[in-house]
Amino acid sequence: MYTIYGYSTFNPLKVVITAEELGIDYRYQFVDLAKRENFAPEHKLRHPFGKVPVLEHNGDFIYESAAICRYLANTNGKKLYSADPLQAARIDALMDVMSIHIGRWLSVYFWEELIAPKFLDRVANPDALEEAKGWLDKQLPYLDDLVSKQPWLCGTDMSIADCFTFAYLTISDDTSISLDPYANLYKWYQTMRARPAVGRAMQRVFASP
């Protein structure tokens, strides 16, 4: 049995979508970041920096959402991943692109437009948003191009890279960054959203506790 520790944000969503798509049995444990439960001693044992998501499996704790998605796939017959090193590298690369580049800039929208006004008692910083928009204008066309020529981000089969990327792009639902200019990406996004597993994951993560 797997336990996923999460909160109602996009990082835990990556992992819960992966678990739902894999069809595995798991328990979801809400950690209330607003109440700083993530800094409680028991959570510091799960994650050195007191963050979510964390996966617990057979008494071990795994953190970092990309590592968790890979672990879930690897312990379930490499479904949504690949036994072929080249294809696995393509999937890894796309997830790195999301974590290091595109996701980084999407996170600025999440932080400035959602977190700052709600929790930091300040308005969004327009300079930060402008910088993020500049980078996203350059980088989102890459994703659009990928799904213009193949059904999924890494080829003919859905992968953990799709689960991972979709979770980041949910930031566009609640902020001013828009997928409208990217017709192929927008279509892929709607296809992902319509999947029953993705719907269950969003319900679980965004409707918790």
Ligand X SMILES: N[C@@H](CCC(=O)N[C@@H](CS)C(=O)NCC(=O)O)C(=O)O
Identity of the residue, 53 or 82, whose beta carbon is nearer to ligand X in the bound complex: 53
Interacting residue with ligand X among 11, 18, 82, 165 (CB under 6 A) = 11
Identity of the residue, 86 or 100, whose beta carbon is nearer to ligand X in the bound complex: 100
| Joined tokens for residue 42 | 């028991």
- Which one, of 78, 89, 88, 103, lies nearest residue 164 by Cα? 103
> Which of left, alpha, beta for 36 (phi over 0: left; psi -120 to 50: alpha)?
left
Question: Does 164 sit near ligand X (CB under 6 A)?
Answer: no
Minimum CB–partner distance for residue 188 and ligand X (Å): 22
Q: How many Cβ atoms sit within 10 Å of the Cβ of residue 195?
A: 17
CA distance 124 to 170: 19
Binding mask 24-63 for ligand X (x = CB under 6 A): ---------x----x-----------xxxx----------
Minimum CB–partner distance for residue 156 and ligand X (Å): 27
CA distance 150 to 120: 41
Question: Does 65 sit near ligand X (CB under 6 A)?
Answer: yes
Total residues in contact with ligand X, by rule CB under 6 A: 11
Q: If you ran DSSP here, which 8-state letter would residue 207 be given?
A: T
N- to C-terminal Cα separation, the chain: 21
Minimum CB–partner distance for residue 171 and ligand X (Å): 11
Identity of the residue, 11 or 165, whose beta carbon is nearer to ligand X in the bound complex: 11
CA distance 77 to 207: 30
Binding-site ranges for ligand X (CB under 6 A): 7, 9, 11, 33, 38, 50-53, 64-65
